[in-house]
Amino acid sequence: MGKDTQLTDRVFKSVGTRPMRPDGIDKVTGRARYGADHNMSGQLHGSILRSPHAHASIKSIDTSKAEKLKGVKAIVTAKDFKTKGITDPDLLDIIDNCMASKKAFYDGHAVAAVAAVDAKTAKAALKLIKVEYKILKHVTDVDEAVQPKAPLLNNKCFTKGVDPTPDKASNIAKRSEFGHGDVAEGFEAADVVIERTFKTGQSHQGYIEPHACVASVGPDGTGELWVCTQGHFVFRQQCAKILGLDEAKLKVTSSEIGGGFGGKTHLWVEPVALALSRKANRPVKLVMSREEVFRASGPTSATSIDIKMGVTKDGVITAAEAELRYTSGPYAGSWATLGAMTSFACYDLKNVKTVGLEVLVNRPKTTAYRAPSAPMAAFAVESMIDELADRIGMKAIDMRIQNAAKEGTRSSYGPVYGPIGIGPTLDAAKKHPHMSAPLGPNQGRGMACGFWFNFGGQSCTDLNIGSDGTATITVGTIDVGGARASLALVVAEELGIPYDQVKAVIADTTALGYNEMTDGSRGTFASSMSAIQSCRMAIADMRQRAATLWEIDVDEVVWENGHAYAGESGLNDSNSNHPPLSIADLAKSADKTGGPIAGHAQIVADGAGVSFATHICDIEVDPETGQTRVVRYTVIQDAGKAVHPTYVEGQFQGGAAQGIGWALNEEYIYGEDGRLQNAGFLDYRIPVCSDLPMIDTQILEIPNPNHPYGIRGVGETSIVPPLAAIGNAVSNATQVRMTHVPMSPPRILAAIHAEAASDD
């Protein structure tokens, strides 16, 4: 996709307006159908037996009694998942996670599943399955897991990324290193050097809709899967491979999705439902309980980060170094890699080095969570920046401005930046009234910056013009929070017709080519790019049709404002004998000019623009209890071009709220037995309405040169700064540096008391 030179001064008509979403009425009347809202004839109830142990060898599974129970139609265990011929290690991990083969790696790991006529029978059947375990020593803490004597999860895990490869197995699955310059030299040049260790708890995406699917596979290998997912094409591909089905014969339909945030990019129960269905030759509905969601679907990593930064007394950061240890559950991932890449991405550093270590632990498999791995790294880095600024007597915002990355800066992860928005968000923050508003007693203000890459990937769209001139845009990316509205706006813009004459539809896997998932903030970025190309193809076709109707050369037809004009200058050509033709006019005669009017595009939407944000927040701390209250919160972020500003604001606000929850209370709490103690909304404590203030937003528009409208992804960056912004605010309110997320009241109070004791 080439550059569009118009983009900076383009005047948009539809893009940038705030119409109502097309799927809205269904969602306010209860008509919208989510994962658990679909049923099929003859449907069975699926249920999963899960390990009660954090780490155990599975000696045997006896399903004979359960099989004899009346109403039980199928039981599957790992034996029903054939791994022969599968070489992709990630896919093998997915299969093992969906159904434990040799070992149960965490409390909640699936070991068997039942399909029965109803929930009651399924539940009774699970109780009749006898699993013999040999309990093994477990490790859930990231720092304990890297110790030489830690219980080993996988005796074939030899750290990747180290040369030569170690000959002794460990829980460190991968080491990845980034950076440039010479940090030792950099620290020499510094006037102040600070070293600290930060820890963050494991948080869950916390989508309100639990995973749910209905699977149906016939004896001929033809199947259907109805599922709440962020990527039904990816699910089709992976499920087909796992089950040994032909992709083309597996139709995957994405339901409305009740939140994902990365957690629904991954298979958890779907292959199990398909396997049960195939065995029973009946449709199977499988819905996770909330407890199962917490225990057995992927949370983010818990981390421990050693960081060292040096600064001159003039505020120049001379060197920065970090070792970041990220848990990835029982299987390798690339979470520490992403942490190592993103940690210092906001700054222009001459000497920087980051090392990420992927650590295996007896916790559920880590999945992506909104800008995965970036928030924890930002917590460490942005806390350090505040502390360094304080030490040299500089304002934290000024030190950030002075060191901010800009066009031409070599990023800490390697490449040199093009035009980027970190500087403008900082300038906007400095000018924002929030920065200078007075603070009350026991209140502190904090700020922090955040970075996320964003990406694009494969996209495929169809545009079809109806006989009345209205347009249907069919996309293969899931709409998680208003994308249909945004895509309809883009199509309306491109075709020059009103928004309400465009219908955006999410197709199932039989109707379009492959599409990547809605992740990496790519939904609107990539689908709009493909939609624009589909429109341009249809417009080219319509120009040709107008030329045919007018019996003139196509070069003499100009397309403007949704109309074909005869004559080179279009609108202004009053000499033309041909009155302009609207899309509706052209559609009316489509049967005489070549049949239905359509456009199609299949692209790799590369060139997503990186995205930066700066957040400001005020926190009040009760010094006697450590209780916190978020008093005020402001998000400033670059959107490239905000297609539907209301939903862009919504992304900013939602990301901030998730970050606030993570910063203050959310975490996985494990007992001595390695079992999760708080597998429910009550004790996991995501923020409720009365916990938050209004979240102010400021959208900056620094166009992405690689998108025809300048669009960047906006979904993820907003969760990156809150951990640090809140940490800095709490530290400013209490005069105690907070180093452990979540900053729950017991932790804050303990930190205040420890500081008071050290002062005595």
Partner 1 sequence: MEYLAPEKTADAVKLLAKSKGSVHVLAGGSDLLVRMKGGYVEPDVIIDIKRIKTMQEIKKGATGFSIGAAVSCSKMGEHKALRKAWPGVVEAANLIGSDQIQGRCTIAGNLCNASPAADSVPALIAAKAVAVIKGPKGTRRVAVEDIATAPGKTCLKKGEVVEYIQLPKRAAKMADAYLRFTPRTEMDIAVVSAAVNLTLGPRGVITHARVALGAVAPTAVLVPEATKILKGGKLDDAKLEALAEICNAACRPIDDKRGTIQFRTHVAGVLAKRAARLAYTRAGGKL
Partner 2 sequence: MSVLVSSIINGDNIEFACEPDETLLDALRDRVGMTGVKEGCGTGDCGACSITLDGALVCSCLVLGAEAEGRSIETVEGMSDGNVLHPLQQKFLEHAALQCGICTPGFLIAAKSLLEKNNDPTEEEVRYALAGNLCRCTGYDKIVRAVLDAAKQMRKA
Partner 3 sequence: MNKVFLWGGLRPAAGGAEFVEIEALTIRELLRKLAERHPKLETLIDSEIAVSINGTIYQDDWSKKIPKDAEIYLLPRIEGG
Q: Which of 580, 716, 726, 727 binds partner 3 (CB under 8 A)?
A: 716
Which one of partner 2, partner 3, partner 1, none interacts with residue 480, CB within 5 to 8 A by kind? Answer: partner 2
- CA dist 244 to 217, 234, 275, 627, Å? 12, 15, 10, 54
User: What is the closest distance, in whole angstroms, from the C-beta atom of residue 323 to partner 3 in the complex?
Assistant: 13
CB-based burial, 150-169: b 16+ in 10 Å, e otherwise: bbbbbeebebebeeeeeeee
DSSP SS3 for 634 = strand
Task: Give least dist CB 360 to partner 1, A.
Answer: 24
Residue 421 binds which one of partner 3, partner 2, partner 1, none, with CB within 5 to 8 A depending on kind? none
Determine if 325 is a binding residue for partner 3 (CB under 8 A).
no
Which of partner 3, partner 2, partner 1, none binds 744 (CB below 5-8 Å, type-dependent)? partner 1
Tell how strand 56-62 and strand 130-135 pair up.
antiparallel
Binder among 44, 54, 293, 338 for partner 3 (CB under 8 A): 338
Nearer Cβ to partner 2 (178/261): 261
Say how many residues make up the chain. Answer: 760
Tokens standing for 96? Answer: 């093992």
Considering only 145-153, 175-183, 242-250, 388-396, which stretch makes contact with partner 3 by CB under 8 A?
175-183
Rounded to the nearest whole angstrom, what is the least distance from the CB of residue 117 to partner 2 in the complex?
Answer: 13
Which of the 8 DSSP states describes residue 297?
S
Q: Which two tokens stand for residue 674?
A: 């390695």
Dist CA 433 CA 426 (whole Å): 13
3-state secondary structure of 723: helix
- Establish if 653 lies at the interface with partner 3 (CB under 8 A): no
CB-side exposure of 142: number of CA atoms within 13 Å?
27
Which amino acid, one-letter code, is at 316? V
DSSP string, 679-715: -SHHHH-PPPGGG---EEEEEE----TTSTT-----S
Min dist. Cβ of residue 520 to partner 3 (A): 3
Partner whose footprint covers residue 677, from partner 2, partner 1, partner 3, none (CB < 5 to 8 Å by kind): partner 1
Instruction: Please say whether the beta carbons of 353 and 183 come within 8 A.
Output: yes
Taking the least distance from each CB to partner 3, the nearer of 233 and 261 is 261
Name the minimum Å distance from CB 539 to partner 1.
Answer: 52
User: Residue 238 CB, nearest distance to partner 3 (Å)?
Assistant: 15
For the CB of residue 620, give the shortest distance to partner 3 in the complex, in Å. 30
Is 229 near partner 3 (CB under 8 A)? no
179 binds, among partner 1, partner 3, partner 2, none (CB under 5 to 8 A by kind): partner 3
In the complex, least distance from residue 457 CB atom to partner 3, rounded to whole angstroms: 6
User: Is residue 748 within the footprint of partner 3 (CB under 8 A)?
Assistant: no
Residue selected from 108, 223, 262, 674 as contacting partner 3 according to rule CB under 8 A: 262
The residue from 301, 343, 458, 653 that contacts partner 3 (CB under 8 A) is 458
- Please, which residues bridge with residue 198 across strands? 305
How far apart (Å, rounded) are the C-alpha atoms in residues 31 and 45?
Answer: 23
- Selected range binding partner 3 among 121-129, 466-474, 516-524, 670-678, rule: CB under 8 A: 516-524
Q: Does 347 bind partner 3 (CB under 8 A)?
A: no
Dihedral sign from CA coordinates of 732, 737, 740, 744: negative
- In the numeric block, the tokens 């013999």 are attached to 132
Question: Are 593 and 548 within 8 A, CB to CB?
Answer: yes
**Residue 438 DSSP SS3:** coil
> Which one of residues 12, 34, 158, 417 is an interface residue with partner 3 (CB under 8 A)?
417
Tokens 């945030």 found at: 261
3-state helix, strand, coil in the chain (%, to 5): 30, 25, 45
Shorter beta-carbon distance to partner 3: residue 411 or 739: 411
Q: Is 733 in contact with 441 (CB distance < 8 Å)?
A: no
Within 186-225, which residues bind partner 3 (CB under 8 A)?
Answer: 205
Q: Does 451 bind partner 3 (CB under 8 A)?
A: no
- Return the structure tokens found at 367: 């999945």
Instruction: Please count the other Cβ atoms lying within 10 Å of the Cβ belonging to residue 245.
Output: 18
Contact positions vs partner 2 (CB under 8 A): 18, 20-21, 23-25, 27-34, 36-37, 120, 205-210, 256-261, 287, 289-290, 480-482, 646-647, 649-650, 653-654, 656-658, 680-682, 686, 688-690, 692, 694-695
Min. distance of Cβ 647 from partner 1 in angstroms? 27
Cβ of residue 738: shortest distance to partner 2, in angstroms? 22
